[in-house]
């Protein structure tokens, strides 16, 4: 994890709260045991996985992942802590973009259609998601980051190469798919969970991952034009393949769309 934060060398205060105590509900960690995962390149452009159709098997060490995407209520704690005004939580590039674009909140923060407390925070760039993780890492002294592509898919599939968190057959009743907006992160809890009990891994929001989509690095300080996204969205086309948990997507790390959010991992 050290290569993810090459510019941070902070002395942390003693006696910090755990993330479970600190963040508003609903929040809990799901432990994911070590295992293997097979990533498939589905893009026409070649990546670190190879050409379209190429597969690569990765060993994934044990880790924990948040049961739900980060909510508006949880992100509000970062705002209250003046996270957008503290340089120490941002990468060099992220801070420059934030200052240039005058970001002071997520893009849709003041829009009632998107800002309900238990709904996933949206309109957040990859840089904002990373800043939240680095801030929470400092507050709690837990090794918190965005999940890598490999971690995300491992948490979604379990020990099988299933197409969706619940199995190989698509079921629109188990996820927020082809709708008009986001839903509460608990809306499909227990209905569309992964084998490990992780919710909302298909539909609702596409989730930022740590991984550089093209070269596979997990270094937050590297400059890249595309970071990985996983999970599909409420706004996906009426094609269930967009919600497959092995489907790779990506976007510019500055993207702040109403269909993009993120969740946390912990090593």
Q: Residue 82's pLDDT band (boundaries 50, 70, 90)?
A: very high
State yes or no: pLDDT of 260 exceeds 90.
yes
Report pLDDT for 238.
80
Rounded mean pLDDT, 158-177: 96
Rounded mean pLDDT, 143-154: 98
Q: Residue 45's pLDDT band (boundaries 50, 70, 90)?
A: confident
Rounded mean pLDDT, 64-76: 98
State yes or no: pLDDT of 241 exceeds 90.
yes
Rounded mean pLDDT, 137-163: 97
Rounded mean pLDDT, 178-197: 96
Report pLDDT for 244.
97
Kindly give the residue spans of alpha helices, DSSP state H, lying in 88-173.
92-101, 126-140, 149-157
Rounded mean pLDDT, 143-156: 98
Fold adopted by 2-7+24-266: 3.90.1580
Report pLDDT for 15.
66
Of the listed ranges 14-18, 118-122, 144-148, 180-184, the one predicted with least confidence: 14-18
Q: Are 145 and 131 in contact (CB under 8 A)?
A: no
State yes or no: pLDDT of 126 exceeds 80.
yes
State yes or no: pLDDT of 14 exceeds 70.
no
Report pLDDT for 19.
95
Report pLDDT for 8.
36
Name the pTM for this structure. 0.93
State yes or no: pLDDT of 112 exceeds 90.
yes
Report pLDDT for 3.
37
State yes or no: pLDDT of 218 exceeds 70.
yes
Of the listed ranges 17-21, 67-71, 244-248, the one predicted with least confidence: 17-21
Rounded mean pLDDT, 119-132: 98
Q: Residue 260 has which token pair?
A: 């993009």
State yes or no: pLDDT of 10 exceeds 50.
no
Report pLDDT for 255.
98
State yes or no: pLDDT of 5 exceeds 70.
no
Q: Which residue reads 């990533």 in tokens?
A: 39
Rounded mean pLDDT, 40-58: 93
């Amino acid at each position: 994890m050290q290569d993810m934060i090459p510019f941070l060398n902070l002395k942390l205060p003693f006696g910090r709260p755990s993330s479970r105590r600190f963040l508003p509900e609903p929040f809990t960690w799901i432990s994911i045991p070590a295992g293997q995962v097979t990533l498939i390149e589905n893009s026409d452009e070649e990546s670190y996985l190879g050409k379209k159709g190429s597969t690569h098997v990765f060993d994934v060490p044990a880790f924990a992942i948040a049961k739900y995407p980060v909510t508006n209520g949880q992100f509000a704690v970062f705002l209250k802590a003046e996270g957008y005004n503290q340089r120490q939580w941002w990468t060099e590039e992220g801070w420059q973009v934030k200052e240039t674009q005058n970001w002071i909140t997520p893009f849709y923060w003041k829009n009632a259609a998107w800002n309900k407390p238990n709904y996933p925070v949206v309109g957040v760039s990859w840089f904002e998601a990373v800043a939240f993780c680095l801030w929470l890492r400092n507050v709690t002294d837990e090794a918190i980051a965005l999940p890598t592509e490999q971690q995300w898919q491992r948490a979604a599939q379990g020990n099988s190469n299933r197409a969706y968190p619940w199995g190989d057959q698509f079921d629109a009743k188990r996820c927020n798919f082809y709708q008009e907006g986001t839903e509460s992160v608990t809306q499909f809890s227990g209905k569309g969970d992964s084998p490990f009990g992780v919710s909302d891994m298909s539909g609702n929001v596409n989730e930022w991952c740590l991984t550089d989509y093209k070269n596979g690095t997990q270094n937050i300080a590297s400059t890249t034009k595309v970071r990985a996204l996983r999970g599909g969205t409420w706004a996906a086309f009426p094609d269930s393949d967009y919600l497959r948990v092995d489907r790779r997507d990506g976007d510019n790390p500055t993207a702040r769309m109403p269909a993009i959010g993120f969740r946390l991992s912990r090593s």
